[in-house]
Amino acid sequence: MGKSLEKQFGRFLRQRRGDASYAVFARQLGISASTLYRLETGEQSVTLGKMGDILKKLKAGVRDVFAE
């Protein structure tokens, strides 16, 4: 179950990034480009606190990520 949630969050980030580079989007989120890549691919877990920080910066909520 955990892996599917990580993948879902990764897909959400990828969609929100659009055509922006990893570097530009990661800077907006306050994380490194390599961390963004690992989050998008589901290779790295994110704490609830960090997810909250990222969603706040994107002006999004948990429902936006896990709407399915």
Model confidence at 1: pLDDT above 60: no
pLDDT of residue 2: 56
* Total domains, the chain: 1
DSSP string, the chain: -HHHHHHHHHHHHHHHHTTS-HHHHHHHHTS-HHHHHHHHHT-S---HHHHHHHHHHTT--HHHHS--
pLDDT of residue 67: 78
Summarize pLDDT for 6-27 with one digit per residue, the tens.
999 999 999 999 999 999 999 9
Task: State the chain's maximal CA–CA distance in angstroms.
Answer: 31
Give mean pLDDT, residues 44-67: 93
Q: Read off the CATH number of the domain in which 50 is found.
A: 1.10.260.40
| Residue 27 belongs to domain spanning | 2-65
Q: What residue type is 10 in one-letter code?
A: G
pLDDT of residue 4: 85
d(CA 59, CA 54): 9
CA nearest neighbour of 35 among 59, 4, 53, 10? 10
Summarize pLDDT for 23-54 with one digit per residue, the tens.
999 999 999 999 999 999 999 999 999 999 99
